[in-house]
Amino acid sequence: MQKVCHHELRNAFRALLANPACYHTASVFDPLSARIAADLGFEVGILGGSVASLQVLAAPDIALITLSEFAEQATRIGRVACLPVIADADHGYGNALNAMRTVIELERAGVAALTLEDTLLPAQFGRKSYELISIEEGVGKLLAAQEVRDDKALAIIARTHAGVQPLADVVHRTRAYQDAGADGICLVGVKDFAHLEAITDELHVPLMLVTYGNPDLRDDTRLAELGVRIVVDGHAAYFAAIKATYDSLREQRGIAVGNGLTSSELVAQYTAPDDYIAWARKYMNVKE
């Protein structure tokens, strides 16, 4: 069994951040997928919070998974991964003190980096389902996370949603996270290159971009010139696995597969999102 050196993998990830190139993540969700990604030459993998929620709970990505459940999955991957893995640590599973615990557990699990987002999670009673915490609270989480990091090579990346804020607010927020010592900024919801340029004009830390295949952001050379080092296209590998499982089991039962349901339709069918939405409205008065 090959011994994994987590410190070396963290240094390898920092080398990616320092290199003027753009790297696309492999979606890794278990030890085998991590080995496959490394063997195929991927430079970096990512364990998505949404993927972990599906795999562990068969539940939508609505902050139901706990830190211990997520860390267990990260640990399984960390035992064998020969490529740096980024952990999508959501909101740090609570406040700044919870974020400290999150860093401790995920560092022990062997991840090379983790993202901490400023989304208000879980949804609050009587509030919209997607809101952000204050900049001050986001900065506090970042500072707390850095304090408990034992291996200084572990990268802590601040994540924010650029698609739900006015541009001026995104700029102000990302500057504050940069000043707080974030090793990188992760942006979600960027519309196009003009939007990205306006946000990153004064950012000097490495950038991570969650594009979900946005066709208006498909130019790695231009992304690299703007400081983007890591691109997350989505988690197609895991969704393909869901689809393959469904089709294989249908065939085993003698049920015609045909075109069948898409992976997104399968997720919607088997995670019961409508039930969760109804419960949130009924018991929490959550607004859409």
Cβ(132)–Cβ(118) below 8 Å = yes
213 pLDDT band, cuts 50/70/90, is: confident
In the chain, which ranges are continuous DSSP H helix?
6-18, 31-39, 49-57, 67-78, 96-109, 135-148, 167-179, 193-200, 220-225, 236-252, 263-271, 273-284
- What is the rounded CA–CA span in Å between residue 143 and residue 159? 14
Pick the closest to residue 204 from 183, 232, 234, 233 (CA basis): 183
- What is the rounded CA–CA span in Å between residue 174 and residue 192? 17
The CATH code of the domain at 6-235 is: 3.20.20.60
126 pLDDT band, cuts 50/70/90, is: confident
Q: Tell me: the pLDDT tens digits for 172-186?
A: 999 999 999 999 999
255 pLDDT band, cuts 50/70/90, is: confident
Q: Which DSSP string corresponds to 106-125?
A: HHHHT-SEEEEE-B--SPPT
**For residue 122, is the peptide bond before it cis, meaning its omega torsion is within 30 degrees of 0?**
yes
Cβ(167)–Cβ(198) below 8 Å = yes
**Is the pLDDT confidence value at 156 over 60?**
yes
Q: Tell me: the pLDDT tens digits for 128-142?
A: 767 899 999 999 999
Q: Phi/psi at 29 (nearest 5 deg)?
A: -135, -5
Q: What is the pLDDT of residue 225?
A: 96
**Is the pLDDT confidence value at 110 over 70?**
yes
The structure tokens listed for 62 are 């609505």
Q: What is the pLDDT of residue 2?
A: 65
Pick the closest to residue 285 from 127, 111, 135, 153 (CA basis): 127
- The one-letter amino acid code at 70 reads F
For the stretch 118-153, what's the b/e string if a residue is b when 16 or more beta carbons lie within 10 angstroms of its beta carbon? bbbbebeeeeebeebbebeebbbbbebbbeebeeeb
Q: What is the pLDDT of residue 203?
A: 95
Q: What is the pLDDT of residue 130?
A: 76
Q: What is the pLDDT of residue 232?
A: 97
**Is the pLDDT confidence value at 124 over 90?**
no
pTM of the model: 0.95
288 pLDDT band, cuts 50/70/90, is: low
What percent of the chain clears pLDDT 70, i.e. is strictly above it? 98
Q: Where are the domains of the chain?
A: 6-235
Once rounded to an integer, what is the mean pLDDT over residues 65-88? 97
Total Cβ atoms within 10 A of residue 33: 20
Residues 6+ apart with CB under 8 A from 176: 135, 138, 139
**Is the pLDDT confidence value at 164 over 80?**
yes
**Is the pLDDT confidence value at 241 over 60?**
yes
Once rounded to an integer, what is the mean pLDDT over residues 53-63? 92
- What is the rounded CA–CA span in Å between residue 151 and residue 160? 24
Q: What is the pLDDT of residue 1?
A: 57
**Is the pLDDT confidence value at 201 over 80?**
yes
Helix axes 135-148, 167-179, angle to 10 degrees: 30
Cβ(205)–Cβ(180) below 8 Å = no
Torsion on CA atoms 190, 15, 173, 224, rounded to nearest 10: -30
Cα-based distances in Å from 260 to 235, 238, 246, 250, 267: 20, 18, 9, 10, 13
**Is the pLDDT confidence value at 76 over 90?**
yes
Mean pLDDT across the chain = 94
